[in-house]
Homo-oligomer: A and B are copies of this chain.
Amino acid sequence: MSLKEVQNLVIIENTPLNATNFLIRLVSIKPLPKFVPGQFVNVEINNSSEIFLRRPFSVFEINYSLNSISLIVKILGRGSKKLTEIKAGESVNLIFPLGKGFTFPIPNERILLIGGGSGVGPMLFLAKESGLNPDNVHLILGAKSFEDHINIDDYRQFGNFYFTTEDGSLGERGFVTQHSVFQNKLKTFDKIYACGPDAMMKAIAREAKKSNIFCEVSLENLMACGFGVCLCCIEPTVRGNLCVCTEGPVFNINDLKWQI
């Protein structure tokens, strides 16, 4: 049995979620393998002389009965832009499942999930799959402004949501680490999970470390292959330079050599 697959999937939805992110939903003709939140797919973006390599995206949602995978894609450069322009009905080649996901919480733990930008995707996925009582699941989602936040109504049942915006247009004003929950209740959590921009994750890691709370973050290093053969995506860790694509993208902050 092959552990990893290279497959053409058909895009069935490619719609803007907000000012900066798109939701892309793809279906496979075959049953999908199990995905752990934090795992990713590597997407071939064809039809351009400028895009040579694949682009990695975390899985946001899996529907095992429809065999569908959803991604939240933020337009950053040429590849992500092209991807958001592909029309429903066209097919795209994906490699999956890739990487190691988040460590699941154990029953009755209180967890804090923090997502920024497209990093919100894996946090929602984790909230849904955590298996915890929703009372124990808390999410802080951060963005620049209210129009950069995505609609999470379908996820309210899985946890308690808090928002921050830099302009104060939704939730509390400031960064996720300035949110009152983060500021005042951090120590009430057993585990913190984060996915988002580098600076955000470092700020979170700093506080988690101070308070000595278990904390996992998802990294977005540049990748050439995505499945462990090129050694381009490395991150310095206590176990040496590790490949983010196979040993990550999720790392415990205690393993990272971040200067925080």
* Minimum Cβ distance to chain B for residue A20 (Å): 25
Q: Does chain B have a CB within 8 A of A64?
A: no
Number of copies: 2
Interface of A is mostly: loop
Provide the A52-69 mask, 1 if CB < 8 A to any CB of B, else 0: 100000000000000000
Residues from chain B with a CB closer than 8 A to the CB of A51 are: 49
Q: Specify which chain B residues have a CB less than 8 angstroms from the CB of A47 in the assembled complex.
A: 47-48
How far, in angstroms, from A48 to B51 measured CA to CA in the complex? 10
User: CA of A52 to CA of B52 in the docked complex: distance in angstroms?
Assistant: 14
**Mask for A168-207, Cβ within 8 A of B = 1, else 0?**
0000000000000000000000000000000000000000
Smallest CB-CB separation from A49: which chain B residue? B49
A130 to chain B minimum Cβ distance, whole angstroms, is: 42
User: Within the complex, what minimum Cβ distance (angstroms) separates A117 from chain B?
Assistant: 28
A194 vs chain B, min Cβ distance (A): 36
> In the complex, which residues of chain B have a beta carbon less than 8 angstroms from the beta carbon of A48?
47-49
Bound Cα distance from A52 to B49, whole angstroms: 8
- Nearest chain B CB to A47 CB, angstrom units: 4
| C-alpha spacing A48/B49, complex, angstroms | 5
A81 → B minimal CB distance (Å): 13
Residues of B within 8 A of A52 (CB): 49
Q: Which of A47, A51, A52 has the most CB of B within 10 A?
A: A47
Once bound together, how far apart are the Cα atoms of A51 and B51, in whole Å? 14
Q: How far is the CA of A51 from the CA of B52 in the complex (A)?
A: 14
Encode contact with B along A121-155: 1 for CB under 8 Å, 0 otherwise.
Answer: 00000000000000000000000000000000000
In the assembled complex, the Cα of A32 lies from the Cα of B69 at a distance in Å of: 49
Interface centre among A48, A49, A51, A52 (most CB of B within 10 A): A49
Of all chain B residues, the one with the shortest Cβ separation from A47 is: B47
In the assembled complex, the CB of A85 is this many whole angstroms from the nearest CB of chain B, namely: 11
Please measure, in the bound complex, the distance between the C-alpha atom of A48 and the C-alpha atom of B47, giving whole angstroms.
5
The A23-45 residues at the B interface (CB cut-off 8 A) are none
Residues of A near any B CB (own CB < 8 A): 47-49, 51-52
| Complex A-B: 7 CB contacts under 8 Å | A47-B47, A47-B48, A48-B48, A48-B49, A49-B49, A49-B51, A49-B52
